Amino acid sequence: MSELSKTNGTTTSANNRAEVTHISRNGLILWVKDREYYLPYDKFPWFKRAAVDDVFNVQLLGRERIRWDALDVDLSLSIIANPDKYPLVSK
């Protein structure tokens, strides 16, 4: 196998994925790029009444975009890390 073949392809490290690690009655915990984020339902209401499978079905797209396809929710890491800077417009 050539050196070029060894370096091309998809990286599967934990740095390149998002994972919901816990769901509670008050919010959820999201793990992205070796960092844990708490998403309380009062700041992220889309998840409060969502099906558990839909909440766990999360993807990291690119470097900053987190997507819950079944819930039609897209959030940037900036919004997740600083929800007070981005007040909700609709629920």
Burial class of 43 by CB neighbour count within 10 A (0 to 12, 13 to 18, 19+): middle
Domains, the chain, ordered by start: 16-83 (3.30.2020.40)
**Band (16; pLDDT cuts 50, 70, 90):** confident
3-state secondary structure of 48: coil
Q: What is the pLDDT of residues 18-66, one digit of tens each?
A: 999 999 999 999 999 999 999 999 999 999 999 999 999 999 999 999 9
Give the integer Cα–Cα distance in Å for 48 and 40: 9
Sheet holding 27-32, edge to edge: 18-23, 27-32, 35-40
Q: Which residue has the higher pLDDT, 21 or 9?
A: 21
* pTM reported for the whole predicted model: 0.78
For 8, what's the count of Cα atoms within 13 Å in the CB-facing half-sphere? 5
